[in-house]
Every structure is written in C-alpha cells, then in structure tokens.
Structure 1
C-alpha cells in the first residue's frame, strides 16, 4: 500500500465484473456489526465528505475479504454449505482473535482501514483456503497481491482526481480501536460489485477458549 498514490483512479473503469444473473462466492469477515468499525468508517466519511468521486462501502457490508472462492457457475450452493461445515470444523478449536484498527491505507482505487497484528488472522485464511481447495478443487484465488493483506475498504474511488487533498483531509490514522473477530462468513455477490447485492450463506464460528492472562 506504499508509497502513497499521486492520483486516484476509477476502480470500475476497466474492471471485469459479474453481470446480472452471475455470482461469485467470497469468504469475508463481516465487520459491519461492530460499533467500533462503523464509528471509524463514519469518521473517515465525515472527513472525506467535501470530496466527490468516492463510493462508500455500505455499513452493513463492511468486511475483510479473506478468499475469493469462485464463480457460482463452478461452485454449487450444496458445495458452499459443505465448505462452511468444513471451515467450522477447522476453526472449532481456534479462539476469537483480537486485532487493532486505526491506520489508514491509500490505494489509487480505494481508501482502507489497515489491520494491525493481521498475522494473527492466518488460521482463518488457512481454514477457508483448505476447505475451498478440498471441496471444489480450486486453487487459492485472492484479490490483489499474492500475500494476503487484511483490510477494510471504507470507500472505493470512482473518479480520477489528485490523491493529496484526500490524504491531507483524512491523514495517516484514526483513533485506534481493538476488534475481536469471532467468525468468517461465506457470501455470494450477485452481479456487479458496486450494487452490493450480497447473499449471506452462513458463518463459521471461532469457538476455542481464550487463554487466561
């Protein structure tokens, strides 16, 4: 995510997306239910309110993308439920995981909350990757770089404009908040990304006991 971008771009200008009637299975950690995440996202939006050319992630669907499992043309709903069952089994002994939010990440196509201590989330990534590959035969397909970098996208860029005024308005950090994650969800995104027509299939819970201090 470094160096800082000079120019913001339109994320969807040349991006291939599912069309109406098509869908994609995603593994997401859905974080919109956490008050502290919604509060951080709203503070960022308030600071960025003077600027056009941004498309906010709906609060309900604030998330960390964990794995792109594949197309609904290739994966059936029955396979999706089987993947959920397997991920639930793999995570049954993993306790909820606490990370820290607050750092702002900038990309030409998006403005994001960084996730500190993100390496702690590796058991979740490993579980969804293993279950997806085992039950579908599909290799790992994550968005972006080969190394998974958990983040929460606050807003996507939908226009070309200088990045510096946005960076100056929002800054490098928001107040730090701890977030304890206790599940990962399987979601179908129906149609184009920006329509947010998501179907929540189910969640696998982290049911392990946290070690006492």
Structure 2
C-alpha cells in the first residue's frame, strides 16, 4: 500500500471468486453500525463520487477484514461453532481497543482508511488465528500481506486508469475520527465479493471476562 500507485487496476479482472452458491468464511470487525466509521467513509466517498471506475463499499458493510478462514466446503458448521466458542474464550480478557481513522491507504485495486495505531488490533487477529487453528486444525494465511495492515476499504477499483487524478481528489487524509473496536464477527460471504451477500454467523464482544475475577 506504499508508495502511491501510479495506475489503478480492476480488482476482479483476474481474481478467483466463489461462484453463486459458494461461500467463504471470514473473521471481520464489522463497523457499519459505528457512526464515526460511517462518517469517515461517507466523507471520503463523497469526494470520490464523481469518479468512474470505482465500486464504493456500502456503508452497511464497512469492515476490517481480520482473517480469511477458508471456504465453507472445508469449514463445516460444526467447525464454525467451535471457532466462535474458542474466540469467545480468547477475547474474554482482551479489552475494547480505541483506534483512529484518518490516513488514506492507496493500493492499485482499492482505497482504504488505515486503522491506527497499526498494531493495536493484533490481539484480535491473533485470537482469530488461534481459534481457527484450534477448531479446524489448520493454519490460515491472510490473503493480503505477511504483516497485517488493518484497514477499512471504502472503494474498490473496477477498471484500469491513472491513479494520480483520484489521489488528487481525496488526498492522503480524511477528517480524523475516533473509534472503539469492541467486537469480532464470523461472517460467511456468499458468491462474488462485490455482491455483498453476507451471513453473520456470530458476533463476539471483547473483554466480557475482564472483570470476571474482580471484586
């Protein structure tokens, strides 16, 4: 996501995606109900509204992808139930995490808002990894980069075009918004990515056991 791209490309041109009726299991931090996240994303999307070749993320489904667990053909309903139970144990003593959205991250296939501090959500991702490993017996690899960069995607590129005019419109930062991440969700995404056909299996709150042993 750095340095700035010179050219945008179609995210889905050569990307393998589930066919209709097929699905993939993800751990997401769902943020569509957070007024601060919606405000930050809406402001950015308003700046981009006149630009063709972009698919804007529906505000309802704003999220930070935490882990791609795998296809439902390999992760059964029983696996998913076990994953949720395990992540609930993992996150019981992880307190809600304050983060900010301000910096714009640029990629040839997407425009994102960085979740900062960048390492603040590492305990949440580690919980998702461990829970998935315990429940399925498999190690999962995030589809992005080896070092996870938590972000909220506000737009996906759907065509090839120069990046500079788009960067000039939005810039490197949006008005700063403060957010508290307090839950992690297991989601089944049906069919192609941009259809936004999502099934929320469960949402697990952070820190539910933090004060369990206190006075």
TM range (shorter): over 0.9
Any conservation in 2 of the 1:105–1:114 contact (CA below 8 Å)?
yes
Q: Which runs of 4+ in 1 moved over 6 A?
A: none
Any conservation in 2 of the 1:65–1:150 contact (CA below 8 Å)?
yes
1:140 CA displacement: 2.0
Structure 1 position 137 matched with structure 2 position 137: yes
Partner Cα distance (1:20, 1:58) in 2: 20
| Alignment correspondent of 2:22 | 22
1:186 CA displacement: 0.1
Any conservation in 2 of the 1:55–1:158 contact (CA below 8 Å)?
yes
Any conservation in 1 of the 2:70–2:140 contact (CA below 8 Å)?
no
| Alignment correspondent of 2:85 | 85
CA-based RMSD = 0.9
User: Any idea what SS the aligned residue of 2:94 has?
Assistant: coil
- What's the CA shift string for 1:105-126, capped at 9, x where partnerless? 1100000001111212111111
TM-score, normalised via structure 1 length: 0.96
- Residues 107-146 of structure 1: matches in 2 within 5 Å? 107-146=107-146
| Alignment correspondent of 1:156 | 156
Any conservation in 2 of the 1:65–1:151 contact (CA below 8 Å)?
yes
| Alignment correspondent of 1:72 | 72
Partner Cα distance (1:94, 1:149) in 2: 19
Any conservation in 2 of the 1:23–1:188 contact (CA below 8 Å)?
yes
1:204 CA displacement: 1.3
User: Which blocks of at least 5 consecutive residues in structure 2 are unaligned?
Assistant: none
